[in-house]
Amino acid sequence: MRITYIFIFVFICSLGTGLAQQTPAPKQNNTISIVGATAHIGNGQVIENSILTFEEGKITAIGASGDVDPSGEIINAEGKHLYPGFIAANATLGLVEISAVRATDDEDEIGTMLPHIRSLIAYNAESKLIESMRPNGVLMGQIVPRGGRISGTSSIMQFDAWNWEDAVVKEDDALHINWPGSFSRGRWWAGEDPGIKPNEEYQQHLRGLTEFFNSSRAYLGGDRKIKNLPYLAMESVFDGDKKVFVHVDGEREIQDVIQFKKDQNLDELVIVGGYEAHKISDQLKENNISVLVTRAHSTPDNEDDDYDLPYKLAKLLHNEGVLVGLQSSGSMERMNTRNLPFYAGTTVAYGMDKEEALSLITSNVAKILGIDEFAGSLEEGKDATLFISEGDALDMRGNILDKAFIQGRELSLKSHQTELYERYKEKYESQSE
């Protein structure tokens, strides 16, 4: 016990003495025009030699040079590329700082049905991980709690803020369900075969979920004299204000999700993972279900699967007319979230069109998250959350950011990491003098 305390103490001290976080940028107070860049709109369109103007945080004009006149401060971006900020769906940034240090872990609450658990308030706007997203163009994210059958309620945050209240762009956007699996893993520590076998409790878990939804409805229809927090948190789900995100992979389970959507009359439902979603893409399309696919950079689930299945899954669904986005959950997910653009790039190597691949992390995700009114593409009226890159931002060699803006505010592209870089570069330069 004492050792633990000492450890925490030392750890907190070291955080305190570490390098300070980047200061959030002030509100945009002058008009800015970015001129000459190849603008990747995020909806499949490209405008060469573009002009994009934004004022008070909103895009006021976008078009080809000649069609639009620049105004205000001019940023010359000739030969460069302009992108809408990438959106990290289903992320846990700000909820955990260092995976192995339990004291820094706030992503997983105990209990089963936790719709009242909100990621928003635990979100650490000053996380060193979050600032490391920005130099790669990842400027917003949906922050999702992970525990339980219903893991809780997510919110969508932008990545340049003093605190969570500043950061939030959409509060309590979605409810997250970890769908039970029809297969379960053997508990090797209890001497069982660690392989996968049919889950005999699957139906029971499904009933539990249905019962919880039904009980919530019944409760909300009553006088509510006694306050039941989990049931109250379901109200916005039934009102349609909160979307339902179901984390599920298997074909059979997805079929059950579709039935659940029908049974529960849910308008908007998103599948997260969807490893076998391509096997029933027609049904997904028919039922207006979109998919945030399994991380492109992952290994296939089964020995017999195509080696490139994770690479091409988005493409397989996209071809069938399903609305698809990418996400980065999985092992080491937080630090890996900055590789989101390269997940999109990888889908191109395995069949996706480049601009459509871009939409997998911009406009499609904005639609899936329900923030497409103000985010996800370089269109008039939307937030000026965008960046200029030296080259192709989906390729590691081109993803070199010049400038980035969130709601028109030009943010720092420095981080704990770039500062260490500068510091040691200087050390060696001074040695060689």
* Residue-by-residue DSSP string for 205-237: HHHHHHHHHHHHHHHHTS---S--HHHHTTHHH
Tell the smallest beta-carbon distance from residue 297 to another protein (Å). Answer: 6
Tell the smallest beta-carbon distance from residue 126 to another protein (Å). Answer: 14
**Residue 300 touching another protein (CB under 8 A):** yes
CA-based end-to-end distance of the chain: 50
Residues 116-145 close enough to bind another protein by CB under 8 A: 128-129
Separation CA 340–CA 226 (nearest Å)? 45
Handedness of CA 375, 338, 271, 317 (dihedral sign): positive
**Buried b or exposed e, range 334-355, using 16+ CB within 10 angstroms:** bebbbbbbbbbbbbbebebebb
Tell the smallest beta-carbon distance from residue 415 to another protein (Å). Answer: 9
**Residue 424 touching another protein (CB under 8 A):** yes
Which of 106, 108, 235, 251 is in the footprint of another protein by CB under 8 A?
251
Name the residue among 86, 92, 168, 87 with its Cα closest to residue 401. 86
Which of 17, 29, 430, 431 is in the footprint of another protein by CB under 8 A?
431
Tell the smallest beta-carbon distance from residue 369 to another protein (Å). Answer: 25
CA triplet 155, 381, 144: central angle to 5 degrees? 10
**Residue 46 touching another protein (CB under 8 A):** no
Task: State both tokens at 133.
Answer: 């997203």
Please, which residue, 339 or 363, has the CB nearer to another protein? 339
Strand partners, 84: 386
**Residue 249 touching another protein (CB under 8 A):** no
**Residue 433 touching another protein (CB under 8 A):** no
At residue 145, φ and ψ (nearest 5 deg) are -75, 155
Task: State both tokens at 16.
Answer: 């305190």
Residues 190-219 close enough to bind another protein by CB under 8 A: 193-198
**Residue 298 touching another protein (CB under 8 A):** yes
Name the residue among 258, 370, 360 with its Cα closest to residue 318. 360
Tell the smallest beta-carbon distance from residue 279 to another protein (Å). Answer: 9
Handedness of CA 193, 195, 200, 206 (dihedral sign): positive
**Residue 98 touching another protein (CB under 8 A):** yes
Please, which residue, 69 or 422, has the CB nearer to another protein? 422
Residue 240, Cβ neighbours under 10 Å: how many? 12
**Residue 418 touching another protein (CB under 8 A):** yes
How many chain residues interact with another protein (CB under 8 A)?
60
Radius of gyration of the chain, Cα coordinates, nearest whole angstrom: 23
**Residue 101 touching another protein (CB under 8 A):** yes
Which part of the chain contacts another protein (CB under 8 A), choosing from 84-92, 228-236, 266-274, 397-405? 397-405
Residues 335-394 close enough to bind another protein by CB under 8 A: 335, 338-339, 342, 345-346, 348-350, 394
Residues 163-192 close enough to bind another protein by CB under 8 A: 182-183, 185-186, 188
Tell the smallest beta-carbon distance from residue 372 to another protein (Å). Answer: 26
Per CB under 8 A, residues contacting another protein are 11, 14, 97-101, 128-129, 182-183, 185-186, 188, 193-198, 250-252, 297-304, 306-308, 331-332, 334-335, 338-339, 342, 345-346, 348-350, 394-397, 399-400, 417-418, 420-421, 424-425, 428, 431
